[in-house]
Amino acid sequence: MRIINKLFDKLFGLAGAVIRYPFTTAFLILATVLSINAIYRENQNDKQLLTCAVGAILCAVIQMMYERFFNKNMARILLYLAGLLITAVYYLLLLSAPDLSIEITVRTTAALLALLFAYLLIPVFRSRYLFHQSFFIFLKSFFITLLYAGVLFGGVSLILTAIDQLILPIPMKSYGYSASLIFILFAPIYLFSQIPVYPGISNMDIEEKQGREEQIFKAANCSRFIEILISYIVIPLAELFTLILILYILKNIRGEFWTNNLMEPMLVSYAIAIIIIFILSSILNNRMVLLFQKIVPKILIPIVLFQMSATVLRMMDIGVKHTGYYILLFGVFAVCSGVIMSFLGKNKNSLIAILLILFSLLSIIPPVDAFTISKWSQKNTLESVLTDSGMLSDGKLEISGTFTDEQKRIISSTVGYLDRMQYTKEIPYLPEDFKLYEDFYDTFGFYEYEIASNQNKSVVVFIDREQAIMVEDYEYMAHSYLNSEDTSQPVICNFKKDGEEYVLKKRKVGGQFEFVLQDQEKNEFILFYSNEIFDRYEQYAVENKELTEKEASFYAESDEIKMKIIVQEASMYFSNNRMSYFSDFYVLIK
Residue 101's SS3 state is: coil
The predicted pLDDT at position 29 comes to 96
Please, are residues 412 and 403 in contact by the beta-carbon 8 Å criterion?
A: no
Instruction: State the average pLDDT over residues 515-542.
Output: 77
20-34 pLDDT per residue, tens: 999 999 999 999 999
Of 205, 187, 201, 207, nearest in space to 146 by CA: 187
Strand-pairing partners, residue 563, are 556, 589
CA 345 to chain centre: 34
* pLDDT value of position 452: 44
pLDDT single digits (tens) 423-450: 888 888 888 788 877 777 777 877 666 5
Please report the pLDDT score of residue 339 as a whole number: 93
What does DSSP assign to residue 364?
A: T
Whole-angstrom distance between the N-terminal and C-terminal Cα of the chain? 87
Decide if 505 contacts 486 (C-beta within 8 A).
no
3-state secondary structure 193-257: HCCCCCCCCCCCCHHHHHHHHHHHHHHHCCCHHHHHHHHHHHHHHHHHHHHHHHHHHHHHCCCHH
CA distance 116 to 360: 11
Residue 489 clears pLDDT 70, i.e. is over it:
no
- Region class of 576: left (phi > 0), else alpha (psi between -120 and 50), else beta: left
Identify the pLDDT of residue 453. Answer: 47
Residue closest to 384 by CA, chosen among 372, 392, 394, 396: 392
In order of 225, 495, 502, 556, the CA distances from 498 in angstroms are 87, 10, 11, 22
Higher-confidence position of 340 and 246:
340
Alpha-carbon gap, residue 87 to 50, rounded angstroms:
10
CA 118, 322, 109 angle in degrees (round to 5)?
A: 30
Question: What is the four-CA torsion angle of 380, 385, 389, 392, rounded to 10 degrees?
Answer: -30
**pLDDT of 485 above 80:** no
Task: Characterise 196 by phi-psi region: left (phi > 0), alpha (psi -120 to 50), beta (else).
Answer: beta
Rounded to the nearest 5°, which phi and psi values hold at 436?
A: -55, -55
What confidence tens digit (pLDDT) does each residue in 72-89 have? 889 999 999 999 999 999
The count of other CB atoms within 10 Å of the CB of residue 481 is 14
Span 331-390, pLDDT tens digits: 999 999 999 998 887 888 889 999 999 999 999 998 889 999 999 999 999 888 888 877
Average pLDDT for the chain = 84
The SS3 of residue 571 is strand
The per-residue pLDDT for 495 is 84
> Residues 413, 415, 420, CA angle at the centre, nearest 5°?
95
Q: Any residues with CB less than 8 A from the CB of 449 and at least 6 apart, and which?
A: 412, 539, 540, 541, 542, 545
> How many angstroms from the chain centroid is the CA of residue 246?
28
Domains in the chain: boundaries: 2-220, 224-365, 372-444, 457-589
Q: Residue 2, Cα to own-chain centre: how many angstroms? A: 46
Q: How confident is the model at residue 542 (pLDDT cuts 50, 70, 90)?
A: low
Q: Which of 354, 350, 236 is nearest to 295 (CA)?
A: 236
User: Which residues are bridge partners to 396 per DSSP?
Assistant: 393
- DSSP for 501-528, written as a single string: EEEEEEEEETTEEEEEEE-TT--EEEEE
Cα distance between residue 554 and residue 235, in whole Å: 60
φ, ψ of residue 9 in degrees (nearest 5): -60, -40
**Judging by beta carbons within 10 Å of its beta carbon (0-12, 13-18, 19+), is residue 1 exposed, middle or buried?**
exposed
User: Would you say how long the chain is, in residues?
Assistant: 590
Report which residue type is found at 446.
Answer: F
Q: Is the pLDDT of residue 554 over 70?
A: yes
CA distances from 326 to 24, 182, 359, 370 (A): 30, 33, 10, 7
The span from the CA of 30 to the CA of 28, in Å, is 5
pLDDT tens sequence across 576-590: 566 778 888 888 888
Rounded to whole angstroms, the Cα distance separating 572 from 216 reads 62
